[in-house]
Amino acid sequence: QMRTTRKVSVWPVGLVGGRRYERPIVENGKVVGWYTGWRADRPFAIDMAGFAVSLQVILSHPKAVFKRRGSQPGMQESDFLKQITTVEELEPKANNCTKVLVWHTRTEKVNLANEPKYHLDTVNIEV
């Protein structure tokens, strides 16, 4: 699905942020918010595994950088994406962000500390 990215595409990520998944919330084919366990107020409340950027966008924004240092914790993705796109321009993938095709995994026990006690999302996603 990344191959069809025109500018910046997004999708859900499983096992991230202390939840089973986090995802962009999509209405009528547009991202309108974020289902996340941490700071949903971020401009792009998304994990690095949850987006792709076309090479044309990178080349047309030569000063855009992904800061290893200088961003607040958890803000690196937002700080980068703000330089190249807007939320309105995001391209939802994975069946309008209702399917997990990518997992954020490590060689450690999964942390689900931020998983809500009751299902709060408007869709039921299998992880």
Active-site annotation, residues:
77
Q: What is the distance between the alpha carbons of residues 25 and 19, in angstroms, rounded to a whole number?
A: 15
Burial of residue 104 (number of CB atoms within 10 Å: 0-12, 13-18, 19+): middle
Query: What is the four-CA torsion angle of 120, 104, 77, 65, rounded to 10 degrees?
Result: -170
Q: What is the distance between the alpha carbons of residues 82 and 85, in angstroms, rounded to a whole number?
A: 6
